[in-house]
Structure 1
Amino acid sequence: MTGNKQTLEELSQEYRDTIPGDLRQTHSFDWYLDTLYEDPKVARNAHQRVADMFDYYGTEYDEADGVVEYELAAGDPIEDGENTFYGRVVHRAIHEFVNKVKSGARGLGPQKRIKLLLGPVGSGKSDFDRQVRRYFEDYTARDDGRMYTFRWTNLCDIIPDQDPADDVVRSPMNQDPIVLLPQDQREQVIADINERLDAPYTIRNEQALDPASEFYMDRLLAHYDDDLEAVLENHIEIIRLIADENKRQGIETFEPKDKKNQDETELTGDVNYSKIAVYGESDPRAFDYSGAFCNANRGIFSGEELLKLQREFLYDFLHATQEQTIKPKNNPRIDIDQVIVGRTNMPEYRDKKGDEKMEAFNDRTKRIDFPYVLQYSEEARIYEKMLRNADLPDIIVEPHTLEMAGLFGVLTRIEEPDATKVDMVQKAKAYNGEIDESEDVDVKKLRDEAAEKADIGEGMDGVSPRFIGDEIAEAIMDSMHRDRQFLSPLTTFNHLEENIENHGSIDADDFERYYRYLEMVREEYKERAIEDVRHALAYDIDEIQRQGEKYMDHVMAYIDDDTVEDEITGREQEPDEQFLRSVEEKLQLPEDRKDDFRQEVANWVSRRAREGETFDPQDNDRLRRALERKLWEDKKHNINFSALVSSGDMDDDERNQWIDALIEQGYSEEGAKEVLEFAGAEVAKSEMEE
């Protein structure tokens, strides 16, 4: 057993190193004023701080899509990539979410709206919401994200009826210390610090003190003959505020419960009955600021399954958003400052959208569609992450397994295109960034067409990654029980097919369609398996190089309207059109597109020559595949495909050579045998049909 033994002293020191240096320190109000002038961002509001948080961890602009990818989601630097998000549509959703937060930071309106993440089950909206909260905790613990609040001290010295247990009282709403200044004086300070501020927004704060703090301020000012300086010097301590979801400090999550047992006090707070006997029911000191909106002040309020709440319960969100206040029972309004995020699934959204009585709530909502991933290679990365984060058995995941599972998921989510122009698999490939070689595919038109057909948006329905991930997990365990040390696409397909009708989230009306999609995926896998076997059986680097050079000689002669020397006779001859087409047809290039392809590869060769690089068909993916397929066609008639299915009919050395070639492509030995037999049977079948 290897590894260092950690002592308690070492663990304790590591813990101390993670704590901000001023976490336990207290400061004077005068110190806080100096800090504001040195770093005005300390006084940011919640939207401004969250907006800066996204930029702090890194960004990358995707010019093609016009989307900013935020490292917080795309890379997860805190957890070393453990919780990353994949897919063009998902990063667009995150981009739109951050845009709304940044608009709110500038005071453009979204600061007074609920940011509602709308998507199907398992689309990742909850994970993203959790990620935002996790990073907000981390950001506020760093110098760039620091914020402060205050506490009242020595209250019993001045206020006769103050409970000794309340001699020191923390700001109940964790308000920014600047609210301790009267509005006129506060505006002077804010104007000064805005002149020093380097940011795309300005600092604003028009909040009133919470009722309890207002009570203390009034009593203390009366005692000191309105000497504000005396109050702040003798009774205010400035303390660091770090968001902490577990402590319900600067972050709060709220979820629906039993309708009969849930009331508005869970949001706005309630009377502290233990204090009524001390202060009386109407005294602001007897109020318990434990509501979700109170706890989330200065940070993030997260509403889980928000639209499952009763309509009457949602009315509290109207003031919280538009007026940025809450109104507890029998208490004055309380100002709040927070980014309000809600999450909901499709059924609840459709139900509330058609409710006329929800018009005011809907008007205060900014919807951000959070769809399923629509790129199957990115979907495969979700499953890779799932396996990477698990205690995976000693098993090899064979090539194409996760991608084909992802392809099935994507097919269930995309709208069916015009079949006369492109089929479902071609559309999925186009979304995946693959260029169709047989016809022009306009991805933008496909997306526009889908947007017109979809109820809310493409990717908002279909099979969830959670369902497919569960079946992959089952397939792994099934393989282990059968002493198979590999997971293949064929095993995964079987588990998907067996359990489509057993999954509660899949509607019975979709069964037939999903089975059809699964057959499409099987067919796509068959082509890929044959391609891998073709590569193993007929791959010859020297022959591909020779054929590639011959192809380019004839292409250049064709473009220059020149002749080419015959390899055997040495005589000059016209370019061999039959040979050229025999290569190009392997890419299913029609006659009317041959000139484009020939010019494309000619330009590629010329560009490499200018850069001093020699011609190598291996470096051009399309040309390489065309030459490999031609070589396969030339050799396949000499291969006994039926023998591939039965190892007893084949020379062991020859079979082992092919298995080794497949292992080089990422297969396990047993997986190579399976795909060799599978592809051999399929090719033998097609040979017989021909």
Structure 2
Amino acid sequence: MTGDIDTLEILSEEYRESIPDDFRETRTFTWYLQEVLDHPRIARNAHQRVADMFDFYGTEYNEDAGIVEYKLATEDPLHEGENTFFGRVIHEAIHEFVNKVKSGARGLGPEKRIKLLLGPVGSGKSDFDRQVRHYYEDYTMREEGRMYTFQWTNLCDIIDDQDPADDHVRSPMNQDPLVLLPQAQRDQVLAQINENLDAPYTIRNEQALDPASEFYMDRLLENYDDNLQTVLENHVEIVRLVANENKRQCIETFEPKDKKNQDETELTGDVNYSKIAIYGESDPRAFDYSGAFCNANRGIFSGEELLKLQREFLYDFLHATQEQTIKPKNNPRMDIDQVIVGRTNMPEYREKKGDEKMEAFNDRTKRIDFPYVLQYEEEAKIYGKMLRNADVPDVHVEPHTLEMAGLFAVLTRIEQPSTEHVDLLQKAKAYNGETDDIDDVDVKKLQDEAATSADIGEGMDGISPRFIGDEIAETIMDSMHRGRQFLAPLTMFNHLETNLENHGSIPEENLERYHRYLEMVREEYKERAIEDVRHALAYDLDEIQRQGEKYMDHVMAYIDDDTVEDEITGRESGPDEKFLRSVEEKLDIPEDRKDDFRQEVSNWVSRRAREGTSFSPQDNERLRRALERKLWEDKKHNINFSALVSAGELDDEERNAWIDALVDQGYSLEGAKEVLEFAGAEVAKAEMEE
């Protein structure tokens, strides 16, 4: 029992330590004035605070992509990497989003626009939006992200008809205390703040008090003969403001409801009927500031499936964006300060895009495309994250499993290339960075061509990661039921093929094409499985080193028009062209490209020599692969491939050595046996056909 009490004490102490020191402490307005002069960023607007938040958690410039990558997305430091994002296109979208927020922080225009995240289902829009909201909550609890608001106190002492329950009233819109100053005096303070500010933006504040606060200010000033200092000293307290989505404080998520029951009061607030009997309907104190725009003030408004709203309902966003005001019923316009983010899927966007009556709304929107991931190895990391974050049974994921799932998904998303020498599979590999085996491939040209041919953009259609994730989960459970402790591509392919027709989000007209892509991935996996088995059966590090040195000797002799000394006879002779081509043909390098490849390898060796690094063919991916394949060709005639399919026809010691070699490559014991039999059967079939 004592242990439980000690644990509770520890948890309680940890909770207390997580709360900002001044979370419940009240301050004076005089204190706040000095604080914002000493720490100007306290007075930032919503765009400025969100922009600084992204930088606070860390950045890294990706020179190859030409974008800034933000660690709240690449590393997720708050959750130990649980919610990381993968794929170049996703980080390009995040980079674009932050750029728009930072432009808004400088007052360049995007602060008056909706940041509309557009993409297909499952592309990561909602996950990113949620990530931003979670980090904003955390940031406002830190010293670097702190902000303050105010509350009215002792109102019943001065205002005769004030309800005793309203003697202390929090700023309904959580406004910055600076709005309590008239604009002329406020501008003087802001001028001093900006003199002390070290930031790429200027702090401005031209907001008016909300109607209720304006009412209190007027009544109090009237009582004190317009002595603002007395009002602020006697009736205003400064309190720490922390964003909290659950409390609907500085963060609000708005979801569309039944189209027939949409009411603008959900956005702008409504009359507080319990106060009408006390104050009267037209009194600003009888208004309930519970609308989504009111709750999001000083923070983030997140509109889920925004374009599913009726056209008339979207009109409320026109003033919320351009003028940064809202107009509740029977109330004056109220100023708001928030980053407005919307999310929508493709069907709704296509419908609204062609609606002429939506021109004003579209003009106030900054579209940010969130396409599906187009690099299949990055897509595989999404599935890996899914498995890491789940209570996965003790199942071993075999090599190539997640990558082949990712490759299939990517094939459904990319546009068919128009160039004859690059097919769809090669394009997917090129997007993944595998360009060595494709002649004259220009990834940028492929991307530009796809951007022109796609309806809205490449990657905005295709199979969702959710569908692949569901099939991986089903494959795992099916494997467990059948006593298989490993997840392998062959089993996963069967589930994908079976369930394509059963998935409601896949149009029927795409099924034939998707089945064809699945067969392409099967063939790709077969080649990789055979390559793994080839590596296990024929891999000899010493022999590869010798063959590599021999290849380089003959390459250098070819380039320098020199001779090579035979290591056995000692005789000098010209380069062995037959040997050179036997290596190069393993990479499908044509005769007319052999000089380019030889020069490329020669330059690589020379560069390593200048760096003081000895030659090793293991360090050059293309050369290593070519030499392994040649060694395989030299040895395969001595291997009984048909025996691989049946353990009874093969020497146990030899078979176990091959299985051990596959286990060293990352296979489980049972998975190694399966891939050995699969690849053996495929090679045996090919040998018979030859």
TM-score > 0.5, shorter chain as reference: yes
Which bracket does the TM-score occupy, shorter chain normalised? Answer: over 0.9
Q: Alpha-carbon deviation of 1:569?
A: 1.5
Aligned partner of 2:646: which letter?
A: S
Is contact 1:101-1:110 (8 Å) kept?
Answer: yes
Superposed, 1:257-276 pairs within 5 Å as 257-276=257-276
Is contact 1:372-1:459 (8 Å) kept?
Answer: yes
Instruction: Tell me which residue corresponds to 2:286.
Output: 286
**2:559 is aligned with 1:559:** yes
Is contact 1:426-1:436 (8 Å) kept?
Answer: no
Is contact 2:303-2:341 (8 Å) kept?
Answer: yes
Instruction: Tell me which residue corresponds to 1:115.
Output: 115
Instruction: Tell me which residue corresponds to 1:72.
Output: 72
Post-superposition CA distance 1:314-362 (Å, at most 9, x none): 0100110011000000111110000000000000000011111111111
SS at match of 2:259: coil
- Evaluate the alpha carbon distance shift between residue 497 and residue 565 of structure 1 in structure 2; reply closer, same or farther with a 3 A threshold: same
SS at match of 1:7: helix
Partner Cα separation in structure 2 for residue 394 and residue 63 of structure 1: 40
Q: Alpha-carbon deviation of 1:153?
A: 0.2
Instruction: Tell me which residue corresponds to 1:14.
Output: 14
**2:548 is aligned with 1:524:** no
5+ residue gaps, structure 2, are none
Q: Alpha-carbon deviation of 1:224?
A: 0.6
**2:433 is aligned with 1:433:** yes
Superposed, 1:143-542 pairs within 5 Å as 143-418=143-418, 420-542=420-542
Partner Cα separation in structure 2 for residue 49 and residue 196 of structure 1: 17
Q: Alpha-carbon deviation of 1:612?
A: 2.6
Partner Cα separation in structure 1 for residue 272 and residue 438 of structure 2: 73
Partner Cα separation in structure 2 for residue 298 and residue 204 of structure 1: 14
Q: Alpha-carbon deviation of 1:419?
A: 5.6
Is contact 1:154-1:167 (8 Å) kept?
Answer: yes
Aligned partner of 2:226: which letter?
A: D
Instruction: Tell me which residue corresponds to 2:645.
Output: 645
Post-superposition CA distance 1:447-498 (Å, at most 9, x none): 1111111000000000000000000000000000000000000011011000
Partner Cα separation in structure 1 for residue 296 and residue 438 of structure 2: 56
Is contact 2:426-2:438 (8 Å) kept?
Answer: no
Is contact 1:137-1:243 (8 Å) kept?
Answer: yes
Q: Alpha-carbon deviation of 1:6?
A: 6.0
Is contact 1:438-1:590 (8 Å) kept?
Answer: no
SS at match of 1:642: helix
**2:662 is aligned with 1:662:** yes
Partner Cα separation in structure 2 for residue 425 and residue 259 of structure 1: 44
Aligned partner of 1:283: which letter?
A: D
Q: Percent identity?
A: 83
5+ residue gaps, structure 1, are none
Partner Cα separation in structure 1 for residue 552 and residue 6 of structure 2: 64
SS at match of 1:302: strand
Post-superposition CA distance 1:219-270 (Å, at most 9, x none): 0000110000000000000000000000000000001111222200000000
Post-superposition CA distance 1:1-57 (Å, at most 9, x none): xx9996110000011111111101110000000011101110000000000101111
Instruction: Tell me which residue corresponds to 2:83.
Output: 83
SS at match of 1:260: helix
Instruction: Tell me which residue corresponds to 1:607.
Output: 607
Q: Alpha-carbon deviation of 1:302?
A: 0.3
Partner Cα separation in structure 1 for residue 549 and residue 436 of structure 2: 25
Is contact 2:395-2:487 (8 Å) kept?
Answer: yes
Post-superposition CA distance 1:267-295 (Å, at most 9, x none): 00000000001100000000000000000
Aligned partner of 1:617: which letter?
A: P
Is contact 2:51-2:105 (8 Å) kept?
Answer: yes
Aligned partner of 2:210: which letter?
A: D
- Evaluate the alpha carbon distance shift between residue 647 and residue 6 of structure 1 in structure 2; reply closer, same or farther with a 3 A threshold: farther
Partner Cα separation in structure 2 for residue 250 and residue 683 of structure 1: 63
Q: Alpha-carbon deviation of 1:438?
A: 4.3
Instruction: Tell me which residue corresponds to 2:140.
Output: 140
Is contact 1:430-1:443 (8 Å) kept?
Answer: yes
Aligned partner of 1:377: which letter?
A: E
SS at match of 1:341: strand
Q: Alpha-carbon deviation of 1:616?
A: 1.4
Instruction: Tell me which residue corresponds to 1:629.
Output: 629
Aligned partner of 1:22: which letter?
A: D
SS at match of 1:151: strand
Tell me which moved more, 201-210 or 549-558: 549-558
Partner Cα separation in structure 2 for residue 600 and residue 644 of structure 1: 38
Tell me which moved more, 429-438 or 506-515: 429-438
Partner Cα separation in structure 2 for residue 4 and residue 238 of structure 1: 39
SS at match of 1:592: helix
Partner Cα separation in structure 1 for residue 562 and residue 426 of structure 2: 38
Aligned partner of 1:213: which letter?
A: S
Partner Cα separation in structure 2 for residue 330 and residue 687 of structure 1: 85
**2:98 is aligned with 1:98:** yes
Partner Cα separation in structure 1 for residue 524 and residue 485 of structure 2: 24
Aligned partner of 2:431: which letter?
A: Y
Aligned partner of 2:410: which letter?
A: V
Aligned partner of 2:92: which letter?
A: R
- Evaluate the alpha carbon distance shift between residue 556 and residue 249 of structure 1 in structure 2; reply closer, same or farther with a 3 A threshold: same
Instruction: Tell me which residue corresponds to 2:52.
Output: 52
Aligned partner of 2:608: which letter?
A: R
Partner Cα separation in structure 2 for residue 110 and residue 6 of structure 1: 52
Partner Cα separation in structure 2 for residue 274 and residue 64 of structure 1: 60
Partner Cα separation in structure 1 for residue 382 and residue 301 of structure 2: 27
**2:673 is aligned with 1:673:** yes
Post-superposition CA distance 1:77-136 (Å, at most 9, x none): 100100000000000000111111111001011100000000000000000000000000
Tell me which moved more, 205-214 or 56-65: 56-65
Tell me which moved more, 579-588 or 531-540: 579-588
Partner Cα separation in structure 1 for residue 31 and residue 293 of structure 2: 29
Partner Cα separation in structure 2 for residue 673 and residue 335 of structure 1: 69
Q: Alpha-carbon deviation of 1:379?
A: 0.2
Partner Cα separation in structure 2 for residue 437 and residue 297 of structure 1: 54
Instruction: Tell me which residue corresponds to 1:620.
Output: 620
Is contact 1:438-1:587 (8 Å) kept?
Answer: no
- Evaluate the alpha carbon distance shift between residue 511 and residue 6 of structure 1 in structure 2; reply closer, same or farther with a 3 A threshold: farther
Q: Alpha-carbon deviation of 1:370?
A: 0.4
Partner Cα separation in structure 1 for residue 450 and residue 645 of structure 2: 43
Tell me which moved more, 209-218 or 612-621: 612-621
TM-score by length of 2: 0.99
Partner Cα separation in structure 2 for residue 355 and residue 317 of structure 1: 17
Q: How many residues align?
A: 688
Partner Cα separation in structure 2 for residue 302 and residue 237 of structure 1: 30
Is contact 2:422-2:438 (8 Å) kept?
Answer: no
Q: Alpha-carbon deviation of 1:558?
A: 1.3
SS at match of 1:78: helix
Partner Cα separation in structure 2 for residue 438 and residue 295 of structure 1: 55
Partner Cα separation in structure 2 for residue 458 and residue 135 of structure 1: 30
SS at match of 1:366: strand
Tell me which moved more, 422-431 or 600-609: 600-609
Is contact 2:252-2:301 (8 Å) kept?
Answer: yes
TM-score by length of 1: 0.99
Partner Cα separation in structure 2 for residue 299 and residue 607 of structure 1: 53
Q: Alpha-carbon deviation of 1:662?
A: 0.2
Q: Alpha-carbon deviation of 1:217?
A: 0.2
Post-superposition CA distance 1:178-198 (Å, at most 9, x none): 000000000011011111111
- Measured on the aligned residues, the alpha-carbon RMSD in Å equals 1.1
